Amino acid sequence: MSRPLHSPGVRPIVLDAGGTTLSALLAEAQGPPRATLLALHGGGMTAAYFDGQADPALSLLTLGASLGWTVLAVDRPGYGASAETLPDGLPLAEQAVALRHALADFGGRYPLGAGLCVLAHSYGGKLALTAAAQGLHDELLGIEISGCGHRYAADPPAGRPAPFGGPGGPRLNWGPLTLYAPRTFSLAGSVVAPMPLREAVEAARWEGAFRTLAGAVRVPVRMTFAEYEGWWRHDPEALAELTGLLSSVPRLVIERQPGAGHNISLGWAARAYHLRALGFLEECLQPRLARPASVSASASASASASARAASAPEPIQR
Integer Cα distance of 258 and 226 in angstroms: 6
Contact criterion met (CB below 8 Å) for 211 and 205: no
Q: Is the pLDDT of residue 110 over 90?
A: yes
Q: What is the reported pLDDT for 56?
A: 87
Q: Is the pLDDT of residue 298 over 70?
A: no
Integer Cα distance of 37 and 140 in angstroms: 10
Instruction: Place 186 in a pLDDT band, splitting at 50, 70 and 90.
Output: confident
Integer Cα distance of 272 and 277 in angstroms: 9
Task: Tally Cβ neighbours within 10 Å of residue 88.
Answer: 12
Average the pLDDT over 138-154 and give the result: 96
Integer Cα distance of 239 and 256 in angstroms: 12
Average the pLDDT over 69-96 and give the result: 98
Average the pLDDT over 51-76 and give the result: 97
Q: What is the reported pLDDT for 4?
A: 59
Question: What's the whole-number average pLDDT of the chain?
Answer: 89
- 2-6, 62-66, 280-284, range with the lowest pLDDT: 2-6
Instruction: Place 155 in a pLDDT band, splitting at 50, 70 and 90.
Output: confident
Instruction: Place 189 in a pLDDT band, splitting at 50, 70 and 90.
Output: confident
Residue-range domains of the chain with CATH: 10-317 (3.40.50.1820)
Can you point out the beta strands (E) in the chain? 10-16, 21-27, 36-40, 70-74, 116-121, 140-146, 221-226, 252-257, 316-317
What is the distance of C-alpha 64 from the center of its chain? 13
Q: What is the reported pLDDT for 172?
A: 87
> What percentage of residues in the chain have a pLDDT greater than 90?
79
- 38-47, 108-117, 165-174, 309-318, range with the lowest pLDDT: 309-318
What 3-state DSSP class applies to 315?
coil
- 4-18, 125-139, 233-247, 300-314, range with the lowest pLDDT: 300-314
Q: What is the reported pLDDT for 166?
A: 45
Closest CA to 69 of 284, 225, 230, 314: 284
Q: Give residue-wise pLDDT tens across range 259-272.
A: 999 999 999 999 99
CA distances from 317 to 116, 221, 242, 254, 314 (A): 22, 10, 12, 6, 9
- 22-31, 49-58, 150-159, 210-219, range with the lowest pLDDT: 150-159
Q: Which residues contact 252 (CB under 8 A, 6 or more apart)?
A: 220, 221, 222, 223, 243, 246, 316, 317, 318
Higher pLDDT, 3 or 65: 65
> What percentage of residues in the chain have a pLDDT greater than 70?
86
Task: Tally Cβ neighbours within 10 Å of residue 297.
Answer: 11
Average the pLDDT over 126-142 and give the result: 97
Contact criterion met (CB below 8 Å) for 122 and 147: yes
